[in-house]
Amino acid sequence: MSTLTDDFWAPRASFLAPIPELAIAADQLDQAADAVLRGDLETARALIKSCDMPSLSTYRALIVEGEKPEIQRYRPVPNAPERQRGTKARMPGKRAALEIFRRDGWRCRFCGICVLSLDAIKALDSLFPEEVRWRARPYRNRNVAFNVLASSLDHILPHSRGGDNDPSNLVAACGSCQFGRMQYTLEEVGFLDPRLRPPVVDRWDGLERLLRK
Ligand SMILES: [Zn+2]
C-alpha cells in the first residue's frame, strides 16, 4: 500500500510543468499573426501548420484524460464547500471577460503559458480553415496548438461550489488547467492560490491585434 507523504501534497502551481513546445507554438503563432498583418499569408500558413505538434496532445491528455495520482492528486478536505446540484456554469459578459484576460496578460494564471483570444483563433480559422480546423469535431481533430492554447476563464472557487463571477474569483486559464481541475477547489487539488503571484503583463496580447485590422 502506498502512503501519501507530506511532500506528495506539497502545494504546487499547476498539474504539470509546461513543456517547451507550448512556448514554441505560442511564438510561432505570434509570428504568424505578424505575417497576417503584413499580408504574408503563405508564411502564416506554414507557421500555423508547424505548431500542430503531437507532443502537445500527449501533454494535454496527461492532465485532462490521465489518471496518474501524482498528476491529478485530488483529496477530500474537511469543511470544503459542498457541491451544489443543478447550478449552471455561468460566465461574465464579453467585455468583463476581456478585462480579466488583459489584467492577466493573456497567460494561464496556473501554469503560466501564453493563451490565445478565442476571437483571434476564429479570425485565423476563417483565413486558414485547413490548418486551424477550429470547427473540427471531435476536438482532437483540431490543430492541437489551438486546443492547448485557447484561453478560458476559470472560477477560483468553482461555480458549482458557490463561487461567483466577481473578477476577484476569476482568472485566465489554459484548457488543460481548467478542465483538469473540474469542480475541485484549490485545496482539494493541492494548488497554490495563483492570485498570490502577480500576473505577467508584457507585449503578449493573445493575438488580439488581429481583431483591430
Ligand atoms: Zn495552464
For residue 81, which amino acid is it? P
Q: What is the DSSP letter of 168?
A: G
| C-alpha cell at position 8 | 506528495
Q: Is residue 207 part of a domain?
A: no
The rounded Å distance from CA 115 to ligand 1 centre is 9
Chain-centre distance for alpha carbon 89: 17
**Cα 108 to middle of ligand 1, angstroms:** 5
* Residue 56 domain flag: yes
What are the backbone angles phi and psi of residue 174, rounded to the nearest 5°? Answer: -85, 165
CA of 80 to the centre of ligand 1 (A): 23
In a domain, residue 212? The reply is: no
* 68: confidence class by pLDDT, cuts 50, 70, 90: confident
* Domain count within the chain: 1
**Per-residue pLDDT at 87:** 64
Distance 173 CA to ligand 1 centre (A): 5
The reply to whether 201 falls in a domain is no
Contact 111, 175 (CB under 8 A): no
- To the nearest 10 degrees (0 to 180), the angle between helices 20-37 and 54-64 is 120
Query: SS3 letters for 123-153?
Result: HHHHHCHHHHCCCCCCHHHCCHHHHHHEEEE
106: in domain: yes
- The pLDDT score that the predictor gives to residue 6 is 61
Domain of residue 103, residue span:
20-73+90-192
Closest CA to 174 of 205, 202, 153: 153
Is the residue at 211 inside a domain? Answer: no
- How far is ligand 1, taken at its centre, from the CA of residue 178, in Å? 7
The answer to whether residue 65 is domain-embedded is yes
Confidence (pTM): 0.91
Q: Strand (E) positions, the chain?
A: 151-155, 170-174
- Weakest mean pLDDT among 110-114, 143-147, 162-166: 162-166
d(CA 192, CA 184): 13
C-alpha 26 to ligand 1 mean position (Å): 13
Mean residue pLDDT across the chain: 92
The mean-pLDDT minimum among 67-71, 103-107, 113-117 falls in: 67-71
Asked whether residue 198 is assigned to any structural domain, the reply reads no
Q: Within 10 A of 89 (CB to CB), how many other CB atoms are there? A: 9
CA distance 90 to 97: 12
CA distance 165 to 150: 20
